């Protein structure tokens, strides 16, 4: 993955957070999702968890 692709994915995560405000958050890049992923689609981290845990 090139640096521009990584920036694009991160920005998409920020837009998704502002629009949806999901309950699951990636601890690495702080992207938010409505469903729990095993790996973050934006950065590849394995730490996608609920905020209230």
pTM, full prediction: 0.54
| Torsion of Cα atoms, 23 then 18 then 12 then 26, to 10° | -30
- pLDDT at res. 17: 45
- Encode pLDDT of 33-43 as tens digits: 888 899 999 99
Low pLDDT (below 70) residues in the chain: 1-2, 6, 10-22, 53
- pLDDT at res. 34: 85
Q: Give the number of other CB atoms < 10 A from CB of residue 11.
A: 11
Tell me the longest C-alpha to C-alpha distance in the chain.
33
Question: Does residue 33 sit in helix, strand or coil?
Answer: strand
Q: Which two tokens stand for residue 45?
A: 């981290």
Q: Give the number of other CB atoms < 10 A from CB of residue 16.
A: 17
């Amino acid at each position: 993955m090139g640096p521009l692709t990584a920036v694009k994915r991160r920005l998409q995560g920020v837009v998704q957070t502002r629009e949806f405000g999901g309950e699951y958050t990636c601890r690495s890049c702080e992207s938010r999702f409505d469903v729990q992923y095993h790996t973050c689609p934006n950065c590849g981290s394995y730490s996608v968890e609920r905020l209230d845990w």
